[in-house]
């Protein structure tokens, strides 16, 4: 696997919105999306206690796309992503799915404008359609939005 670019040490926005993608190990299919999805929602609803707000997300059979805003004084992105994957892995272990469940690391991108958030979301929510799983994105039961994230253009 090629070396990944290093994550930025500093982000010059006070409240960045991150677009995060986590893939399953070897792109293996998640066998029971309903239970994993319910656990994702529970994790997201508890997020503000840890300084994390999950916005829109799409849980696909072999990956997850999510938008998240963090209070970086309480949690950083790598720690949040690791906690999310560990939480979802608990469900998979309960269904006797052998570990490891997720690829190491994740892909992230800091959004640069409110327009890029909506554009990226419109693209991402079409994943189930492009994969041939549904005819219209709204038919996919494993997507949603927990918190309505707003882009703040307030550089340090």
Within a domain: residue 69?
yes
Within a domain: residue 11?
no
What is the structure's pLDDT at 153? Answer: 61
Higher pLDDT, 83 or 153: 83
Within a domain: residue 10?
no
CATH code for the domain of 63 = 3.30.70.1290
For residues 18 and 108, the answer to whether their CB atoms sit within 8 Å is: yes
37-62 pLDDT per residue, tens: 999 999 999 999 999 999 999 999 99
What is the structure's pLDDT at 4? Answer: 45
Range of the domain at 47: 17-145
Which residues of the chain form beta strands (DSSP E)? 17-23, 52-59, 63-70, 107-110, 143-145
Confidence of residue 7 (pLDDT cuts 50, 70, 90): very low
Within a domain: residue 4?
no
Residues 6 or more apart whose CB falls under 8 angstroms from that of 152 comprise 13, 14, 15
Confidence of residue 15 (pLDDT cuts 50, 70, 90): confident
Within a domain: residue 113?
yes
Within a domain: residue 3?
no
Higher pLDDT, 152 or 134: 134
For residues 77 and 11, the answer to whether their CB atoms sit within 8 Å is: no
User: How many angstroms separate the CA atoms of 97 and 120, rounded?
Assistant: 32
Within a domain: residue 7?
no
The partner residues of 65 in beta bridges, in order of sequence, read 21, 58
- What integer is the mean pLDDT of 82-99? 94
Query: What mean pLDDT value characterizes the chain?
Result: 88
What is the structure's pLDDT at 118? Answer: 87
Within a domain: residue 122?
yes
| Helices 77-94 + 33-45 axis angle, to 10 | 140
What is the structure's pLDDT at 33? Answer: 80
Work out the burial of residue 26: count CB atoms within 10 Å of its CB; fewer than 13 is exposed, 13-18 middle, 19 or more buried.
exposed
CA 122 to chain centre: 15
Higher pLDDT, 74 or 151: 74
Strand-by-strand arrangement of the 52-59 sheet: 107-110, 17-23, 63-70, 52-59, 143-145
Q: Report in angstroms the alpha-carbon separations of 22 from 49, 73, 81, 97, 108.
A: 23, 23, 8, 18, 9
Domain count, the chain: 1
Residue 156 has pLDDT above 60, yes or no: no
């Amino acid at each position: 696997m090629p070396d990944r670019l290093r994550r930025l040490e500093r982000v010059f926005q006070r409240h960045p919105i991150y677009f995060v993608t986590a893939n399953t190990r070897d792109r293996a299919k998640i066998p029971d999306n309903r239970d994993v999805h319910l656990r994702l929602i529970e994790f997201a609803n508890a997020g503000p206690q840890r300084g994390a707000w999950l916005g829109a997300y799409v849980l696909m059979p072999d990956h997850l796309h999510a938008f998240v805003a963090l209070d970086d004084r309480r949690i950083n992105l790598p720690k949040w992503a690791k906690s999310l994957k560990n939480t979802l892995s608990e469900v998979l272990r309960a269904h006797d799915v052998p570990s490891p469940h997720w690829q190491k690391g994740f892909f992230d991108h800091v959004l640069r404008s409110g327009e890029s958030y909506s554009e990226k979301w419109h693209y991402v929510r079409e994943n189930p359609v492009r994969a041939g799983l549904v005819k219209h994105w709204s038919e996919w039961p494993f997507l949603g939005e927990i918190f309505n994230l707003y882009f703040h253009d307030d550089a340090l």
